[in-house]
């Protein structure tokens, strides 16, 4: 009988790991090594989809038979996207 696919979290986000742990998921964290797109001409909703897909595709190349979960978050303030924080502070 073939092994069940593993769940791969394509993120280095501690909060995303925490959420999956809270709901009892068994998963492996594999942060993707991709350069996210930052383009003010692309609508925010589309930009987050593009970046999440880039992350998922990068990890799927390595873990092709597994289930890959990827996401992207952007914060808007007064209609402008804020960049990712440089650190936890």
Annotated catalytic residue 66: no
In the predicted model, is pLDDT for residue 56 greater than 90?
yes
**7-82, CATH topology level:** Maf protein (3.90.950)
How high is the pLDDT of residue 1?
Answer: 61
**Is residue 4 very low, low, confident or very high in pLDDT (cuts 50, 70, 90)?**
confident
In the predicted model, is pLDDT for residue 89 greater than 80?
no
**Is residue 87 very low, low, confident or very high in pLDDT (cuts 50, 70, 90)?**
low
Cα separation, 76 vs 37, whole angstroms = 16
Q: Tell me the domain boundaries of the chain.
A: 7-82
pTM of this prediction?
0.82
Q: 51-78 burial, b if ≥16 CB within 10 A, otherwise e?
A: bbebbbebbbeebeebebbbebeeeeee
Catalytic residue selected from 39, 66, 72, 87: 72
Q: What is the mean pLDDT of residues 15-35?
A: 96
């Amino acid at each position: 009988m073939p092994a069940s696919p593993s769940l791969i979290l394509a993120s280095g986000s501690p909060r995303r790991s925490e959420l999956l742990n809270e709901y009892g998921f068994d998963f492996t964290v594999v942060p993707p090594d991709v350069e996210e797109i930052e383009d003010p001409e692309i609508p925010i909703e589309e930009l987050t989809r593009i970046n999440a897909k880039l992350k998922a595709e990068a990890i799927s190349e390595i873990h092709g038979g597994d289930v890959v979960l990827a996401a992207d978050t952007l914060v808007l303030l007064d209609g402008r996207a804020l960049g990712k924080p440089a650190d936890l502070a």
